[in-house]
Amino acid sequence: MSDKSSKHTMKNQRNDDRRYPARRRKKKKQVVTKRGNVDHLADTLLKGSFVCFDIETTGGNPERNGITEIFAVRYIDGVEAETFYSMVNPKIPIPPIVRRMTGITNRMVKKEPVIEEVMPKFLDFLEDDILSSCYLTDSCSIFQETIDGKIFKS
């Protein structure tokens, strides 16, 4: 009697297998861009150093606005190694909309160093590392204007 019940169970199991096919393991997708396979990039971040930074400004025009805050983190072999932080006196009033967005007020930056004092220290911190930022082109244009117009005068 047990032979019959085991045969019956096996027969039902085979029918169940047909209704519910075995799950296949998904192959790991390779990340491929126009430049080709970029799987090596994840590995590269764990070997070497780079700096992630963010700046806050009084507005988007680098010729008319100033930097109010700089924050940067250096990663070495995928581990946070050191940070740089400074509030900056932009020497112009911070517009109300920027105060609401950033939480930085005129009173907070009033007694802080000006960009001419902060930028050389920040550039020393950056060394020759790779840079990463959310708005890198905007940040770099602000830095370029700051460096060309205020720090390294011809």
Structural domain including 107 reads 36-138
For residue 73, the model assigns a pLDDT of: 96
Rounded CA-CA distance 142/98 in Å is 16
Beta bridge partners of 54: 71
Q: Which two tokens stand for residue 47?
A: 């070997």
Residue 100 lies in a domain: yes
Residue 56 lies in a domain: yes
Residue 22 lies in a domain: no
Residue 105 lies in a domain: yes
Number of domains in the chain: 1
Mean pLDDT, range 87-92, rounded to an integer: 95
For residue 40, the model assigns a pLDDT of: 59
Mean pLDDT, range 92-99, rounded to an integer: 95
Residue 113 lies in a domain: yes
What CATH code is carried by the domain that includes residue 130?
Answer: 3.30.420.10
